[in-house]
A and B are shown apart, each in its own frame.
Chain A
């Protein structure tokens, strides 16, 4: 009678499918995962302490490096927290542009997340090429507005760095003409794809009852059937005025996460349509006049107190906890990173699956190591 023996293997930190320098120690019995422990810290640079020895605005470009796919969303989180702490008002137009940038970033994040997920399944570069094509178009818009493709550093306390250039909206409209056919084509290629279905249905299930206990947020939580979206639950900016739906999954497997992301892209598209329509009528400039001077940004001294502000970033709840001692530098600065906390159930989701499914389940969570390790 042959006996089986458990074997411990190491995936990462240098591995093409771990989305950065992420490491997992996996115990396998044959090909079945018995236990999985994530190991962090390979990209740790103590962002929080660096922020505590910098002024508030000095941290703004550094938030770009948290989730480097969605710098606009990270910017928004910090701006919102500081504005709450220092009680700065944001003009309507700035809020519209902020929401526009955030929905664009959601589209590019979800498109590439699905592209990379297909990469992990072995559809090497094909799906990714489609999403990268659309992503470049959005990054062109970001570059036009902020001067940088990825490290946008676009937000300021009380508004944004500068208003949209005149050629922005025509190019955005051109992009919007092409997006629906991209969604349809992308979805048509993938939704019924036999390999995608075989690799994702009933893989990595996170049941509804467990999802909340595990503190997961964003598309992972919604795929498990809980319609929790901060844009609806605690609307910030202009999200209370926009009309959109929150898609949810039924089972909570990898396939549901794929479907939720596809649908969220369509909802973001709907939101951008509404924003384009209303943008010409918005009032107020791109920044609160009291904060328009860069010197004001640099010497901002919020009153003593603490605040927790959060946004729905493409990956989940991005929160900033700030404590002010009344000086120019935050006394405490903490980032509640969605990709970090969404990794909590990874071990449980992988248990009992094949080792080849581990990278697929990890890909379906959609992590960025800049944010996980901070």
Chain B
């Protein structure tokens, strides 16, 4: 991960080039991490982050800006995280420069009930499989993806296995055959 000053500069540049795309978020530094003691439940503030969080609609623009102006050509990692308590699914995109340096992360937040973000496959064909993976396991719908099908689970499968409220015990596909 790029260090803190780089991330702050990145936020600034995005804000200057594309005003209104950044979503204000509490900084990680202000929410001091409290080590959890045994048996003690402290809900961590997942929404505090230093990485730029952008509005879903602006994602292709910001990604294009990163590639064309800042030189982050390679979209390497795409992932979703389900923050059940906050009702949010967060998409994280990691970009790197081909001439070296640490990757940068940009994040997009969408609701758990209707998770929908624009697809990057038009400009980054490499996003294809990882977007399908996020759709398959988290149920995130990628607007504009030409082939948004399940990738690991079979097509008839119901539910999204990586969501935090997906039951971890029992399997409805085996219920009938159990002796």
Contacts and interface: CB of A to CB of B under 8 A. Distances in A.
Interface in A184-222: 210, 212-217
Interface stretch (B18-26, B53-61, B93-101, B111-119): B93-101
A46 B162 contact: yes
B47 to A, nearest CB: 11
Main secondary structure of the interface of B (DSSP, over half): loop
Given A305-B33, A341-B126, A336 B151 contact: no
A319 interface: yes
22 contacts: A53-B168, A212-B74, A213-B124, A213-B125, A226-B98, A228-B98, A232-B100, A233-B100, A234-B102, A306-B49, A306-B92, A310-B103, A321-B77, A325-B36, A325-B44, A325-B46, A326-B33, A326-B42, A331-B81, A332-B79, A344-B129, A345-B125
Contacts, number: 119
Interface string B110-149: 0000000000000111111110000001000000000000
B77 A305 contact: no
Interface of B: 1, 28, 31, 33-36, 42, 44-46, 49, 73-77, 79, 81-82, 92, 94, 96-103, 105, 123-130, 137, 150-154, 161-162, 168
Given A215-B76, A326-B34, A326-B35, A305 B28 contact: yes
A321 B92 contact: yes
Interface residues of A, number: 46
Interface of A: 40-41, 44, 46, 48-49, 53, 84, 210, 212-217, 226, 228, 232-234, 301, 303-308, 310, 317, 319, 321, 323, 325-327, 331-332, 334, 336, 340-341, 343-345, 373-374
| Top 8 closest pairs, chain A to chain B, by CB | A215-B126, A233-B100, A303-B33, A44-B152, A41-B152, A304-B44, A336-B77, A214-B126
